[in-house]
């Protein structure tokens, strides 16, 4: 029933236009009677599920009227445009395309009306997945001030989908020039993606990542990639400088690089510096991975007892599954042989399995969960919205 009602929407739009025409042109009785008969026939086609025939009939009605009037009216144009949009909104892109192409090719419509038709055609092609066709239409519309911002936004969508990062950068930078309030986060990730596509061009790689940081100083991804770059070159101080930026850019991502930060401090023979960093990190924002790294560090430095005491304190303050897992391991190690120890070992395994098998990342925007970190959410298409769960203390 709902489907039937939806089918009637285009007819309602068409009929509204028809009624307006009729009141304005009472002297066209004969034409209108013919129109009325065709309208009923079209409706019958729809009711008997012959949608293709109905669309053909309605289109021919509109085009016939257009020819008879010689000059197409504004309302007729709008009726056809709306009809096409309605078909697209219900996924019938081929019909939407036919209607909008008819408008674009009609000799009766103005330049401005054809621009509107082109914009709808671009949307039709986007929906059909013909990105190159959509791209051509949006490029055509770039010179029109009224359409420029929307076209640039749509072009960035297209280049994101086709992973043409250089083009995405060019378009996003143009967009920023005419709409400076645009969010710069996507542009910083286009630069990161572009850098990753040129792993052998070191100069361009570093330049692109610095561009990402200049557009979005909080782009943790660019800092991590630059840190990785210098770590690989064994330039530990530089690497550390970039890795530690993440603490103030977005501390949630620290869990991704704690091992690398430790490796830098070890290489620089500065373990006290590492401890200091961990303490500072937890003051900025609590993170269970930092808790665990700190406990491990204290165990190596001051022994198991000190580490256990620290861990117990952490669990009381901010309980999380991963610190609890470590706590049970300590308890199992200390327990005397017997049923108690066996139970603790079993519990340790169960909690470990839960951590291992659970999702480790979650999009705070749409709730999408994954096992791997992705900078672009495949579900809601937001950049930087997927975070490690242990950082946001969701594994509890």
Chain residues in the site for Zn ion (CB under 5 A): 363, 365-366, 368, 377, 379-380
**Between 203 and 372, whose beta carbon lies closer to Zn ion?**
372
The DSSP output letter for 252 is G
**Between 64 and 365, whose beta carbon lies closer to Zn ion?**
365
Q: Rounded to 10 degrees, what is the CA torsion of 272, 273, 279, 284?
A: 180
Q: Using CA atoms, how far apart are residues 201 and 179, in angstroms rounded to an integer? A: 32
Least gap, CB of 3 to Zn ion (angstroms): 30
Least gap, CB of 392 to Zn ion (angstroms): 14
Least gap, CB of 217 to Zn ion (angstroms): 23
**Between 154 and 387, whose beta carbon lies closer to Zn ion?**
387
Q: At what angle do helices 271-284 and 288-302 cross, to 10 degrees?
A: 150
3-state secondary structure of 233: coil
Q: How is residue 12 written in tokens?
A: 């309602």
**Between 206 and 374, whose beta carbon lies closer to Zn ion?**
374
Q: Using CA atoms, how far apart are residues 330 and 344, in angstroms rounded to an integer? A: 10
Q: Using CA atoms, how far apart are residues 56 and 77, in angstroms rounded to an integer? A: 17
Least gap, CB of 88 to Zn ion (angstroms): 25
Least gap, CB of 86 to Zn ion (angstroms): 29
Least gap, CB of 162 to Zn ion (angstroms): 21
**Between 286 and 381, whose beta carbon lies closer to Zn ion?**
381
Chain-centre distance of CA 348, in angstroms? 37
**Between 10 and 186, whose beta carbon lies closer to Zn ion?**
186
CA distances from 378 to 38, 160, 255, 358, 386 (A): 46, 12, 22, 19, 10
């Amino acid at each position: 029933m709902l489907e039937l009602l939806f089918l009637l929407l285009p007819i309602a739009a068409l009929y509204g236009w028809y009624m307006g025409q009729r009141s304005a042109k009472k002297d066209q009785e004969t034409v209108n009677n013919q129109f009325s008969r065709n309208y009923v026939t079209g409706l019958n086609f729809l009711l008997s599920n012959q949608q293709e025939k109905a669309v053909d009939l309605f289109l021919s009605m509109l085009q016939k009227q257009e020819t008879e009037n010689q000059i197409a009216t504004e309302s007729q144009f709008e009726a056809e445009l709306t009809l096409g949009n309605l078909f697209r909104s219900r996924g019938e892109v081929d019909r939407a395309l036919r209607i909008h192409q008819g408008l674009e090719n009609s000799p009766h419509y103005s330049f401005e009306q054809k621009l509107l038709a082109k914009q709808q055609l671009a949307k039709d092609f986007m929906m059909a997945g013909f990105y190159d066709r959509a791209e051509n239409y949006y490029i055509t519309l770039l010179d029109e001030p009224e359409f420029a911002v929307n076209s640039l936004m749509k072009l960035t969508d297209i280049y994101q989908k086709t992973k043409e990062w250089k083009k995405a950068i060019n378009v996003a930078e143009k967009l920023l020039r005419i709409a400076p309030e645009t969010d710069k986060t996507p542009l910083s990730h286009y630069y990161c993606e572009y850098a990753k596509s040129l792993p052998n061009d070191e100069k361009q790689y570093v330049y692109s990542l610095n561009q990402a940081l200049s557009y979005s100083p909080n782009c943790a991804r660019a800092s991590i990639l630059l840190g990785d770059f210098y770590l690989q070159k064994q330039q530990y101080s530089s690497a550390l400088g970039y890795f530690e930026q993440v603490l103030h850019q977005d501390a949630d991502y620290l869990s991704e690089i704690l091992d690398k930060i430790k490796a830098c401090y070890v290489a620089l023979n500065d373990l006290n510096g590492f401890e200091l960093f961990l303490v500072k990190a937890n003051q900025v924002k609590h993170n269970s991975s930092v808790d665990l790294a700190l406990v491990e560090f204290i165990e190596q430095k001051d022994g198991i007892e000190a580490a256990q005491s620290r861990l117990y304190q952490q669990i009381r303050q901010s309980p999380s599954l991963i610190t609890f897992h470590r706590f049970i391991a300590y308890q199992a190690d200390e327990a005397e042989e017997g049923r108690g120890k066996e139970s603790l070992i079993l519990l340790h395994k169960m909690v470990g399995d839960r951590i291992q098998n659970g999702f480790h990342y979650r999009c705070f925007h749409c709730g999408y969960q994954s096992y791997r970190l992705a900078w672009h959410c495949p579900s809601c298409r937001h950049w930087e919205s997927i975070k490690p769960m242990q950082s946001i203390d969701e594994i509890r």
